[in-house]
Amino acid sequence: LRPATSADIPAVVAFQNAPGMAARFNPASAENLQKMLDAPCDEVLIWDTGELSGFATVKLEPYRHFYAEIRKFGVYPAGQGIGDQFARALLSELFVKRGFFRAEVACYGDNPAAARFYERLGFAREGLLRQAVRQRSGTRVDLILLAMTHNDWNLAETRRAS
């Protein structure tokens, strides 16, 4: 796990816009990613296994409430355990190294596998925003809200270790 740099932008844009990924993410642009890299409370993190295997964009609120919002999270290839490794490294970074208290994520209601993935990690469903997102196709979908606290992380890690 490492922070993205400007040199990573072309690979992250290509990753997000690749077939199979583009349907899950809004189109990526180099300009938007550079803005995130330049913003003090936005981060782009890379899962680097010798090549770009995953990325996450995270909005940080470190000053008052100490929470992080995971806005985008993607791995390739899916279904080979990369997501679990990357997510656990990301959560460890947020909770253990940086001292955040809470991590939040939202996923589309038409992607139940994403909700199950986050729940397996220890996230809890906190809400449902009905028909909250208009997809590029014009279809409206629900948004599932999930969160994990530092205490949830500790409990999940203890369970994984036993």
pLDDT of 101 over the 80 cut: yes
CA dihedral sign of residues 42, 142, 139, 54: positive
At residue 24, does pLDDT exceed 90? Answer: no
**Secondary structure of residue 135 in the 3-state scheme:** coil
CB neighbour class for 143 (10 Å; exposed up to 12, middle 13-18, buried from 19): middle
Q: How far apart are CA 92 and CA 100, in angstroms?
A: 10
Residue 23 has pLDDT above 70, yes or no: no
pLDDT in tens, 52-66: 888 999 999 877 778
Q: Which residue has the tokens 């922070």?
A: 3
pLDDT tens sequence across 121-159: 999 999 999 999 888 788 899 999 999 999 999 999 999
